[in-house]
């Protein structure tokens, strides 16, 4: 009835509190380096022209950082890649500024703030920065956003037979929204998924729906990241990839539906 | 792609609730636009407001979802017998096998705008009765719909501004093709809010008159709201006259956050991809429902793209002069309008438009016209350069 949703991973990008890139995260997830919590560090997006670089918001810097890292890891040309962005929310600081001003008597909001308020703002800047005219998906599924993005990205890879870059990411709201939605910091994971195995393939993943609980990470600090930042629900998968271990894991998705993922390392 | 059946569908906009009100208005050339009097908004613009949205009462168990956007979601679901057809599909396939793919641009952000007026004067905190997850968050309408029907399978919101609820058809079609679900609730819901009304005004993209797409003197949009849904299923032998999704095409402009590619390059790529996906050529399309927002830039760019692909051989119109621009709901609203053209044998005109821009060389319909439509294409383009075209057809 169902066709298996399988893809090969050729590149990984990562950024989270205390984990500025995939090589660092990989070392920590392999147990070679201790995890030290620290605010997320966002690199200046060198791909943007200087004026845009200065104006770029935190979610734009985040998605460019992890997306470009994954593409570089795979040696892929970003201008050719289809993309799937998935985030539990848009730019929280921009949203707060708009809501704050709309609650005053002066409602003449800035046009830039308005166009930056759309959920697909980071995806739009990605297109402008990379020149990619391929399909670009932008998903939200609250805490299940990583899983929703993975499902659609795998669907595109399997049916359209083209490399697809999944960029799952989140950012924080300032107060007073932070109290209602306490995502602690920016973080994200990018996976370059391809339909065929190549010499660059790191592993294959196959998704099936399941109802098994996700296994917590043994490191309490990493587990805290997994449960507080929706994109980092992917950490059990990344731990397997970091350790080059095959096997089956379960990721949190949308209760009671979970994502069972079979991993085969190359 | 393998054609998919729209086994049920419905649309609610300022034209009225459901298919009959929509077809009556489109046939007669009635517009639902009125001068903007939404909430406390003071803007010299017109809008398309759905009547009696706030009279909708959500089930007690779903009270945390209460906001204008979910009220309109429920109103849309409970129109044209759509909810019944969903329940029949759930009985047929099971509650894990019916997926949800809904588009929105702002979901229930109005609830947050209102909550920011009620912050605690000491702490600045938002009121206790404000629920971010179930109102403001872009997923809220999809989660509401999932809980409304007690579903347990996959669900996602797609939020690519004004192409959102066109792209849901493509995402759902993928999962149906893969067999990971047996039916999909697709659609879009967006409601009036201060962010979009003041936001489009700040970009000088709202008109002080009712919008007039493709008119030589067009000068901006009229913001509307709407809810439109379809139930998509695989179907080996669709009954004659059934409405089918034949093709989907997506692309990115990679050009600008709030202006389209001036030559309509991304728009053209999306239409070409939809034709490829449907296995059709430009000559097979009988009607095009244009994105046609009525901004100078959008209509010029889209017109160039349509003209490049179809010359002036295909009757086309934007229905936003009737419905207003329902933003994240527009893709689904206009897909359902295409379904009506296919079943009813007419092509809608363009209320408000008087003199078609002579610089745009397409066969633009000012007035509704009778005619057989076997395949219709609909365009939806959004901020961030997100483009999606859909092709619907009628089963022989």
Q: How confident is the model at residue B260 (pLDDT cuts 50, 70, 90)?
A: very high
Note whether B126 contacts A254, CB cutoff 8 Å.
no
B37 interfacial to chain A (CB closer than 8 Å): no
Low-confidence stretches of chain A (pLDDT < 50) are none
In a domain, A90, yes or no: yes
A157 interfacial to chain B (CB closer than 8 Å): no
CA A192 from centroid of its chain's CA atoms? 11
A residues 60..89 contacting B (CB < 8 A): 88-89
User: Token pair 């679900």 is at which residue?
Assistant: B181
Confidence (pLDDT) at A1: 56
For residue A46, the tally of other CB atoms under 10 A from its CB is: 10
Note whether B384 contacts A120, CB cutoff 8 Å.
yes
In a domain, A265, yes or no: no
Our answer to whether residue B131 is catalytic in this structure is no
Q: How confident is the model at residue B61 (pLDDT cuts 50, 70, 90)?
A: very high
Confidence (pLDDT) at A49: 82
Residues in chain A: 266
Confidence (pLDDT) at A52: 79
Contact B5, B238 (CB under 8 A): yes
Whether the CA torsion B232, B238, B239, B243 is positive or negative: it is positive
A140 interfacial to chain B (CB closer than 8 Å): yes
Give the mean pLDDT of B291-306: 98
Angle (CA) A116 A118 A119, round 5°: 120
In a domain, A230, yes or no: no
Query: For residue range B122-161, what is the model confidence (pLDDT) as tens digits?
Result: 999 999 999 999 999 999 999 999 999 999 999 999 999 9
Contact B204, B177 (CB under 8 A): no
Q: How far apart, in Å, are the Cα atoms of B205 and each of A99, A111, B24?
A: 20, 10, 29
Note whether B256 contacts A128, CB cutoff 8 Å.
yes
CA distance B367 to chain A (A): 34
Q: Which of B69, B308, B286 is nearest to B165 (CA)?
A: B69
Contact B2, A159 (CB under 8 A): no
Query: For residue range B166-202, what is the model confidence (pLDDT) as tens digits?
Result: 999 999 999 999 999 999 999 999 999 999 999 999 9
Break chain A down into helix, strand, coil percent, rounded to 5. Answer: 40, 25, 35
Q: Which of A19, A110, A109 is nearest to A66 (CA)?
A: A19
Give the list of residues 6+ apart from residue B61 with CB closer than 8 angstroms, or none: none
In a domain, A239, yes or no: no
> Tokens in use for B215?
């008119």
In a domain, A252, yes or no: no
User: Quick one: three-class SS letters along A83-95?
Assistant: EEEEECCCCHHHH
Interstrand relation of A257-265 and B4-13 (parallel, antiparallel or unpaired)? unpaired
Give the DSSP H/E element, type plus range, for residue A176: none
> Tokens in use for A17?
């509190």
In a domain, A128, yes or no: yes
Confidence (pLDDT) at B53: 98
Note the helical H segments in chain A.
22-29, 50-55, 58-74, 92-102, 111-115, 121-130, 145-160, 177-180, 220-228, 235-242
Domain that holds residue B288: 4-394
Our answer to whether residue B36 is catalytic in this structure is no
β-sheet bridge partners, residue B30: none
* ipTM score of complex: 0.98
Confidence (pLDDT) at A53: 84
Chain B contacts of A84, Cβ < 8 Å? none
In a domain, A212, yes or no: no
DSSP labels, B97-125: SEEEEEE-SSTTHHHHHHHGGG--TTT-P
What percentage of chain B has pLDDT greater than the value 90?
A: 99
Whether the CA torsion B363, B243, B229, A134 is positive or negative: it is negative
d(CA B72, CA B333): 13
Chain A contacts of B174, Cβ < 8 Å? 152, 155-156, 159
B56 exposure class (CB count in 10 Å sphere: 0-12, 13-18, 19+): middle
A254 interfacial to chain B (CB closer than 8 Å): yes
Chain B contacts of A102, Cβ < 8 Å? 113, 116, 194-195, 198
Chain B contacts of A142, Cβ < 8 Å? 133, 137, 139-140, 143
In a domain, A233, yes or no: no
β-sheet bridge partners, residue B290: none
Specify the 3-state DSSP secondary structure of B135. Answer: helix
* Closest CB from B146, B159, B161 relative to A140: B159
β-sheet bridge partners, residue B190: B226
**What is the pTM for the complete model shown?**
0.98
What is the number of domains present in chain A? 1
Our answer to whether residue B67 is catalytic in this structure is no
- CATH, residue B312: 3.40.47.10
Give the list of residues 6+ apart from residue B231 with CB closer than 8 angstroms, or none: B6, B7, B8, B9, B82, B85, B86, B89, B183, B184, B185, B186
Give the mean pLDDT of B311-332: 98
CA distance B100 to chain A (A): 11
B340 interfacial to chain A (CB closer than 8 Å): no
Query: For residue range B328-365, what is the model confidence (pLDDT) as tens digits?
Result: 999 999 999 999 999 999 999 999 999 999 999 999 99
What is the number of domains present in chain B? 1
**How far separated are the first and last CA of chain A, in Å rounded?**
28
Contact A176, B125 (CB under 8 A): yes
Q: How far apart, in Å, are the Cα atoms of A161 and each of A261, B231, B252?
A: 20, 27, 19
Confidence (pLDDT) at A54: 82
Domain that holds residue A58: 5-200
Note whether A140 contacts B137, CB cutoff 8 Å.
yes
Contact B161, B328 (CB under 8 A): yes
* Per annotation, catalytic residue among B162, B193, B211, B316: B162
């Amino acid at each position: 009835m169902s066709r298996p949703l399988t893809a090969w991973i050729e590149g990984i990008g990562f950024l989270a509190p205390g984990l500025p890139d995939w090589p660092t995260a990989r070392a920590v997830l392999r147990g070679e380096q201790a995890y030290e919590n620290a605010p997320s560090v966002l690199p200046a997006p060198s791909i943007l022209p200087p004026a845009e670089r200065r104006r770029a918001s935190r979610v734009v810097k985040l998605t460019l950082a992890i997306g470009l890292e994954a593409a570089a890891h795979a040696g892929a040309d970003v201008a050719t890649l289809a993309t799937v962005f998935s985030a539990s929310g848009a730019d929280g600081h921009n949203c707060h500024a708009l809501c704050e001003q709309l609650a005053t008597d002066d409602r003449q909001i800035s046009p830039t703030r308005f166009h930056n308020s759309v959920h697909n703002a980071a995806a739009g800047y990605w297109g402008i920065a990379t020149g990619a005219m391929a399909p670009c998906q932008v998903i939200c599924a609250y805490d299940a956003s990583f899983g929703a993005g993975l499902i659609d990205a795998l669907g595109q890879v399997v049916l359209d037979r083209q490399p697809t870059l999944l960029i799952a990411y989140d950012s924080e709201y300032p107060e007073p929204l932070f109290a209602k939605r306490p995502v602690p910091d920016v973080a994200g994971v990018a996976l370059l998924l391809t339909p065929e195995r190549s010499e660059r393939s790191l592993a294959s993943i196959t998704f099936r729906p399941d109802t098994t609980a996700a296994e917590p990470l043994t490191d309490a600090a990493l587990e805290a990241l997994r449960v507080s930042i929706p994109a980092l629900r992917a950490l059990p998968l990344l731990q397997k990839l970091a350790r080059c271990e095959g096997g089956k894991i379960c990721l949190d998705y949308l209760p009671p539906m979970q994502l069972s993922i079979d991993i085969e390392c190359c | 792609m393998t054609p998919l059946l729209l086994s049920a569908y419905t649309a609610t906009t300022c034209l009225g609730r459901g298919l009959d009100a929509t077809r009556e208005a489109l046939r007669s050339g009635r517009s639902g636009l009125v001068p903007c009097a939404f909430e406390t908004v003071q803007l010299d613009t017109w809008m398309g407001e759905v009547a009696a949205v706030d009279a909708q009462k959500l089930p007690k168990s779903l009270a945390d979802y209460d906001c204008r956007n979910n009220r309109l979601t429920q109103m849309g679901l409970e129109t044209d017998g759509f909810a019944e057809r969903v329940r029949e599909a759930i009985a047929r396939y099971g509650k894990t096998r019916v997926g949800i793919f809904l588009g929105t641009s702002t979901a229930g952000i109005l609830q947050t705008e209102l909550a920011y007026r009620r912050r605690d004067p000491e702490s600045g905190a938002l009121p206790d009765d404000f629920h971010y997850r179930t109102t403001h968050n872009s997923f809220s309408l999809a989660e509401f719909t999932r809980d409304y029907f007690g579903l347990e399978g996959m669900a996602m919101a797609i939020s690519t501004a004004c192409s959102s609820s066109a792209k849901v058809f493509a995402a759902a079609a993928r999962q149906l093709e893969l067999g990971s679900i047996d039916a999909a609730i697709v659609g879009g819901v967006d409601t009036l809010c201060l962010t979009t009304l003041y936001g489009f005004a700040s970009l000088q993209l709202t008109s002080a008159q009712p919008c007039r797409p493709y008119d030589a003197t067009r000068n901006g949009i009229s913001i509307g709201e709407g809810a439109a849904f379809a139930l998509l299923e695989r179907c080996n032998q669709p009954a004659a006259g059934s409405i089918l999704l034949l093709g989907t095409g997506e692309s990115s402009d990679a050009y600008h956050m709030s202006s389209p590619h001036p030559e309509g390059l991304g728009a053209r790529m999306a239409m070409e991809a939809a034709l490829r996906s449907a296995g059709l050529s430009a000559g097979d399309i009988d009607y095009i429902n244009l994105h046609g927002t009525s901004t100078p830039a959008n209509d010029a760019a889209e017109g160039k793209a349509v003209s490049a692909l179809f010359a002036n051989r295909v009757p086309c119109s934007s229905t936003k002069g009737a419905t207003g621009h329902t933003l994240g709901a527009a893709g689904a609203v206009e897909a359902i309008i295409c379904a009506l053209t296919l079943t009813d044998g007419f092509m809608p005109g363009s209320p408000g438009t008087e003199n078609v821009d002579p610089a745009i060389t397409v066969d633009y319909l000012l007035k509704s016209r009778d005619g057989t439509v076997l395949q219709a294409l609909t365009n939806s383009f959004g901020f961030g350069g997100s483009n999606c075209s859909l092709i619907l057809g009628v089963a022989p």
